[in-house]
Structures are given as C-alpha cells and as structure tokens.
Amino acid sequence: MNALRTGILLAAMTGLFLAVGFVLGGEGGLLIALLLALGMNFFAYWNSASMVLRMHNARVVTRASAPEYYGVVEGLAKRAGLPMPQVYVIETDQPNAFATGRSPDHAAVAATTGLLRSLSREELAGVMAHELAHIKNRDTLTMTVAATIAGAIGFLANFAMLFGAGRGENRPNPIAMILIMILAPMAAGLVQMAISRTREYSADRDGAAICGHPRWLAGALLKIEQLARGRVMQTAEHNPASAHMFIINPLIKGGIDNLFRTHPATEERVRRLLAMEGGSTSSGLGSRGPTPVSRGVRRAGSVPSAGRG
C-alpha cells in the first residue's frame, strides 16, 4: 500500500511538472519537463533523505556523543526488529522529531535539542518508538520523497514568475503565469494532504506497541504541543514542504493551517493512545513518577548530552 501511495504521489508531481512545462514552453517545454521530472524522481528516491536532513542542518551523533539518546534508539530498534538507524540532532529550541530514509536499512531518526532537553527518558522513548514505527511501516520513503518533490514544486512558482516577467512574442500567457504562481505553492500543501493523517495514527499505535507504554507517547505529544507554541523552527519555516514529516506540525499556525493540516489533532491522538491502556485524558498524564524504560533500552548519561555533540 505504501508503494502504491508513493507511485501515485510521484505520478501526480510528474503530471504537474509536465503541465507547467507545456504552459511555459509548449511541446518543447513538455519534453524538457518530462526529462527533468524523471531525473528528479530518480534523484529523490536515492537522495531525498540526505537532502531533508541537510534542510534542517541535522548533525549525526554517536553512542559516545549522545549516550542516552543513542541508547534509547538502539534499544527500541532491537525491540522492533529493525536495523539500527543513523541518529541525528537538530539545533533548535522547538521540541520535535522525524524519521527519514527509503527503507529500514537506509533510515535515520532526528530529534531537536529542544525535545531532548524537555522530555523525560520515558517520553523520549515514546517519541522515538513512534519514529521507528514510521520506518518499520516504510512510511519514510513516501515522506522523504514528498518533502523533496514538494520543495521543487514550490520552486516552479518562482520559475513561472521569471518567465512572466520576460518580454517579447514568446512570453507565456500572463493569465497562465498567474495561475501557476498561485497553484504551484498550493501543490506543496496538496502533497502534505496526500500524506494521509491516518499514517500518524498508525505510527502512534505501533510506536506504543514498540515501547510498551502508550502513556509515554501520549504524555510526550501533549508536552511537545504545549512547548512548541511560540518556538520557531527556522529551517521548517524555510522548508514548509517537510512539515508533514515531524511528529508535531513545526510551522507557526495561521488561518490556513486547518485547510492544509498534515497532522491529526493532538487531543485525538492522545485519546486513542490512552484508550489502548483503558485510560482517559483526565487521568493526569505526568502525575506518575519516572518509570524504567522498556527492557533493552540502555540508560547511559543524560538526555541533554545529545545537544552537546
């Protein structure tokens, strides 16, 4: 099913490239757009993960530089039956995380320094289990390719603007240029909508199973949602097409947020998680003291050590 969704997504993006190429250059532009789209799709498949990590200035960490963070991921990966992914950190105060990679054998997880500083070890385990569930379900290929292509689609608007500013008889139809300038940025939002919100529910459910405690992830979601308000992630604002990859929407919310919402409501996600253990949102998340992380997750150092590299 994920392979089918990826194919549909790539086909839709390719169709948009072809349409814009035809508007800009007729049959010649159509052919050029086709060649560019094929090359971009091939490149995105092999390189989109590294591109997304570079978008957010993520840096790799090791067991030595981030023992607690690395150990949590390592233990959960073993529980999930997954190869050890590469582990990255993003320098920003906003608590957030995402997973990327074309397959479980070529995967990575990234957490922000704000997340590592803000969450308890149990909550960190819940978040990382969610991201590993994305990897196990092979959602990451869809998400990374979507982020790469959506960013390229956004570039089309600027490209159309340059053509529209030209002179001479070969200048494209100005009405068509205006439409492209409006519709191309919207395409990035449509890509995010194409990444079904049910995928987050699935990763929540499977992540709770991996760490063994739905409450850990539920508590983390509530804390991230609260702490993320007012904390801007500049790399996400500059690359909004990658917003759907994060566990919580990293963008500053505006009036259009509900129209192009890429994440389910946090309250509903929490409700479903607590229902897995027969709890409720009124049961007082965070009222319990620290509890041991699932067996196989090794304690070493402190979570904030990841932020020191």
Token match 């969450």: residue?
119
Token match 């395409």: residue?
187
Backbone angles phi, psi at 97, to 5 degrees: -165, 155
Whose CA is closest to 236, among 136, 90, 116, 125? Answer: 90
CA atoms lying within 13 Å on the CB side of residue 127: 29
CB 52 within 8 A of CB 236: no
Take residue 264 and report the two structure tokens written for it: 């389910």
Name the active-site residue from 74, 131, 200, 225: 131
Whose CA is closest to 262, among 274, 273, 271, 253? Answer: 253
For the chain, the first-to-last Cα distance in angstroms comes to: 38
122 is catalytic: no
Let me know if 46 is exposed, middle or buried by CB neighbors in 10 A (0-12, 13-18, 19+).
Answer: exposed
Any idea what DSSP says for residue 173? P
Task: Give the residue numbers annotated as catalytic, written as ranges.
Answer: 131
